[in-house]
């Protein structure tokens, strides 16, 4: 008698069956299904731990960014906006992605661009629950010129050229090179606190291991992970194909 039979616990399987599948395939798929169930439980447990984090530090200043009009075709209008003004009424969470596009860069980060291509489409949905902004160190006119070519019409694009936000929140290294980073802030009354950063980028990794610190918001690689060839080792996104 098998352990499952003796305990009355059925093997973890689904009710789905597919044309031509073999018993070997079904056995292997059910084994994977159990692993996927465990991964789901771990993902939910980690998300709960993340939500349970105590408040981080109060932001040291009400950073002033530069922003253009929502209409990307308007190339002249620029205004200043404070970090506190990125919070809309009733929405007390702010997610800020640090886009690797510094004033010395010949072109934006290809990886960040891939992420933001996806976020641009998701932004109308995201903005129903949280505030979302993208910050880069380049002048606002340069950021918006690139955004027009990508048709990023849903992203709130800000320049941190005139403040220290990137340095303070690990979107910039000491040598002024730019880093991909995602930060979360919350508003509590009149105060704004930091709550989360994708710190896996700064944690130790094994030889050859990628930090994958922003993979959770990057559909591209997660889609490839569902395929037999996986992510591969020699393919990366490009700015154009």
Q: How far is CA 155 from CA 120, 121, 135, 196, 239, in A?
A: 6, 9, 10, 21, 18
Question: Could you give the number of structural domains in the chain?
Answer: 1
186 belongs to a structural domain = yes
Matching residue, tokens 């299904």? 33
Mean pLDDT within 176-199: 97
What are the pLDDT digits (tens) for 3-39? 444 445 556 889 999 999 999 999 999 999 999 999 9
Query: What local confidence, expressed as pLDDT, does residue 216 receive?
Result: 93
Query: What local confidence, expressed as pLDDT, does residue 5 receive?
Result: 45
85 belongs to a structural domain = yes
Domain ranges, residue 92: 64-199
What are the pLDDT digits (tens) for 39-72? 999 999 999 999 999 999 999 999 999 998 777 7
Q: Please give the full DSSP string across the chain, using - where no structure is assigned.
A: --HHHHHTPPP---S---TT--HHHHHHHHHHHHHHHHHHHHHHHHHHHHHTPPP-PBPSS--EEEEE-SSTT--S-EEEEEGGGGSPTT--EEEEEE----TT-SS--HHHHHHHHHHHHHHHHHTTTSEEEEEESS-HHHHHHHHHHHT--SS-EEE-TTSSHHHHTTSB-TTS-B--EEEEEEEETTEEEEEEE-GGGGS---TT----TTGGG-HHHHHHTTSTTTT-SS----S--
Percent of the chain whose predicted confidence (pLDDT) is above 70: 95
Query: What local confidence, expressed as pLDDT, does residue 160 receive?
Result: 98
226 belongs to a structural domain = no
CATH of the domain at 105: 3.40.30.10
**What's the pLDDT band for 135 if we cut at 50, 70, 90?**
very high
Query: What local confidence, expressed as pLDDT, does residue 10 receive?
Result: 55
168 belongs to a structural domain = yes
184 belongs to a structural domain = yes
The average confidence (pLDDT) of the chain is 93
Query: What local confidence, expressed as pLDDT, does residue 233 receive?
Result: 86
Quote the pTM value. Answer: 0.91
Mean pLDDT within 197-221: 93
**What's the pLDDT band for 225 if we cut at 50, 70, 90?**
very high
Query: What local confidence, expressed as pLDDT, does residue 208 receive?
Result: 84
225 belongs to a structural domain = no
């Amino acid at each position: 008698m098998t352990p499952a039979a003796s305990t009355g616990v059925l093997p973890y399987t689904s009710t789905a069956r597919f044309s031509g599948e073999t018993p070997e395939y079904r056995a292997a798929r059910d084994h994977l299904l159990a692993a996927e169930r465990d991964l789901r439980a771990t993902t939910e447990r980690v998300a709960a731990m993340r939500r349970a984090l105590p408040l981080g530090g109060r932001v040291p200043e009400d950073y002033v960014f530069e922003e253009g009009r929502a209409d990307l075709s308007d190339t002249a209008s620029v205004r200043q906006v404070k970090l506190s003004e990125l919070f809309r009424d009733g929405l007390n969470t702010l997610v800020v992605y640090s886009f690797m596009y510094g004033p010395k860069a010949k072109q934006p980060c290809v990886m960040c661009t891939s992420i933001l291509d996806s976020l641009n489409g998701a932004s109308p949905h995201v903005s129903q629950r949280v505030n979302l902004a993208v910050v880069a160190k380049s002048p606002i006119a340069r950021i918006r010129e690139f955004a027009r070519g990508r048709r990023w019409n849903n992203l709130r694009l800000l320049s941190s050229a005139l403040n220290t936000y990137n340095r303070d929140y690990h979107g910039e290294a000491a040598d002024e090179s730019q880093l991909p980073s995602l930060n979360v802030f919350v508003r509590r009354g009149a105060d704004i606190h930091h709550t989360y950063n994708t710190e896996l980028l700064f944690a130790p990794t094994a030889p050859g291991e990628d930090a994958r610190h922003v993979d959770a918001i990057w559909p591209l690689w997660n889609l490839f992970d569902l395929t037999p060839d996986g992510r591969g080792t020699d393919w990366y996104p490009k700015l154009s194909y």
